[in-house]
Chains A and B, each alone.
Chain A
């Protein structure tokens, strides 16, 4: 239970950072577990980014089987999407980098 509180605290801290627009926690099946965005955006992000992360991971491992994907950052005109992958879960954070 204390660990659950830790989790809460971590996620809240991340969301409180300057420039962070939203966060989504996705499980292995593509279901957004926790999100600070509205449901439809969360579902979109989850679906699209999980696919991309799997593709990125397979590309990295194709080049070198010992290697693995640790982090994926997509910088776009409007904001930066950061994806942190794990075996079972995916943490997606959308941040507006400060100029």
Chain B
């Protein structure tokens, strides 16, 4: 309800001086109360209010600096001898001992202690409390879901954090781990990152065991499987460096700069040889070089990965990863930046024949190539967003592949114990454990290891410990649950059956594709006249247009006729 008061005035009177006078009070508006409006209101009889007589507190977190501890042994030396006796002198000590033995208290004590002790010794003979009581019982299948836990983390001790580009375990037992640190970014960060790489001892996570000082950051490093003291690494300057841990932290030998790769040496591997002195390296400049460790001044052999077999460096494929299996010493696989895996044979007669065949399938650089240790004909490649398993005989495509994941896969390796399990690491910091026999569509176990992208992974053969290296310079050691570490029954047979099945499928698909292609070719061969006609028509487009119009009109007329006939 609006309360409005209206008054009118002549226009001529506007602006005239006000003449005020008294007037009686008059009610302008009278608004009576409306009791029915009270039904809209609810009386609130009580209100609740919380009260707490407690002190206000806030939450704070404090973390102390890491406590650096070091394990040292203690050697107990002789002591406690009274002042007048020199512990070095046998006579004096013997005399003292005899004196103690003659003491009354000694005799009674020993007799009593002796009887107590004999009782316990006899107990040990009577019953062995640690014996295996239930030998024949079979171990139950562990129903727990697979899991992995971090046992240890080794952090980059320098201030400027570099990423881990390669990891390798010590060949015997693997109590040591070598990590190659390098800065893979494009521009150098503020502050000079140090060039060192470290060998870590698993028991001492606080400080590295040995420091390796290369002339430029190492991109990959490997222990020699035959000689655990020697290491081989590829540097960012393209040179190959060879260390002996007994002889200090500088490389014993370095390949000469002009003979080495022009691009960073991405991968270096030891090959089979009598003295364990042969190695080969690959780099994104498109070359694969073979070296003899004793003479790193000049490579023994050179292969240019040029697919047109002309040894043209400009058109060569850049190699990013290498694979060598010691049971097949003449063959090796190279993963390239272009997404192609090249299988090569070392013993071919000419360089052109060295590249046997290629496997295409990835869209981006093939970050890792590894053969299955149990089925060496099948190998795993990772690159871009998926991991693919290939069989050597099938060249068209991979036999098993994973779905495209949400982030890049940077490295992968097979489990040395279980033939169907492989591990891969991604740039979102997750380690994926895939069990090919269990499921194909997603990893059996995904563990988020760190917030930083993970760049490399390596499995130790004996204990099944996995080392994962991140961009921030942290190496995390993970241990898997037992189910993933022990081979299940029939695993090998099931896996070989699966590989065969998939290979067969791919072969069938290949054959079908070939058939289709043949048909197309034969079809195009059958009609060369049509092609000629087509050529003539092209010379006079106007004629073509006319013809097209005529055809169209003709067809349109036919349709209309058809409709008319239908309606009538």
Of B111, B121, B128, which one neighbours A20 at CB under 8 angstroms? B121
A88 to B: closest C-beta gap in Å:
6
Shortest Cβ distance from B91 into chain A, in angstroms? 15
A69-99, CB < 8 A from B: 70-71, 73, 75, 80, 82, 84, 86-89, 91, 93, 95, 97-99
How many pairs of residues, A versus B, come closer than 8 Å at their CB atoms? 102
In the complex, residue of chain B having the shortest beta-carbon distance to the beta carbon of A20? B121
Question: Would you call B513 an interface residue if the criterion is a C-beta within 8 Å of the partner chain's C-beta atoms?
Answer: no
Q: Are A14 and B105 in contact (CB under 8 A)?
A: no
Which residues of chain A have C-beta atoms less than 8 A from B80's C-beta?
Answer: 29-31
What 0/1 readout, one digit per residue, does chain B (78-110) give for beta carbons within 8 Å of chain A? 111110000000000000110011100111011
Measured as residues with beta carbon below 8 angstroms from the partner, the interface class of chain A is 35 or more
With A4-B101, A48-B76 as contacts: A91 and B124 at CB distance below 8 Å: no
Interchain CB contact under 8 A, A86 and B114 = no
Q: Interface residue count for B (Cβ, 8 Å)?
A: 33
Q: How far is the CB of A65 from the nearest CB of chain B, in Å?
A: 22
Residues of A within 8 A of B118 (CB): 13-14, 17
Using known A-B contacts A33-B97, A71-B116, A84-B116, determine if residue A10 contacts B125 with beta carbons closer than 8 Å: no
User: Do B101 and A34 touch across chains, with their CB atoms under 8 A apart?
Assistant: yes
A76 to chain B, nearest CB (A): 11
B106 touches A7 (CB 8 A): yes
Q: How far does the alpha carbon of A88 sit from the alpha carbon of B185 in the complex, in Å?
A: 70
- Closest residue of B by beta carbon distance from A98: B125
A-B contact pairs, 20 of them (CB 8 A): A4-B102, A6-B107, A7-B107, A13-B118, A19-B121, A27-B100, A29-B81, A29-B82, A33-B97, A33-B100, A39-B78, A47-B76, A47-B79, A70-B116, A75-B130, A86-B113, A88-B105, A88-B106, A95-B121, A99-B131
A residues apposed to B, CB below 8 Å: 3-4, 6-7, 10-11, 13-14, 17-20, 25, 27, 29-31, 33-34, 39, 43-44, 46-48, 70-71, 73, 75, 80, 82, 84, 86-89, 91, 93, 95, 97-99
**Chain B residues within 8 Å of A, Cβ to Cβ:** 76-82, 96-97, 100-102, 105-107, 109-118, 120-122, 124-125, 128, 130-131
* Sample of 4 more A-B contacts, CB < 8 Å, known A10-B115, A48-B76, A97-B128: A7-B107, A11-B110, A17-B121, A95-B124
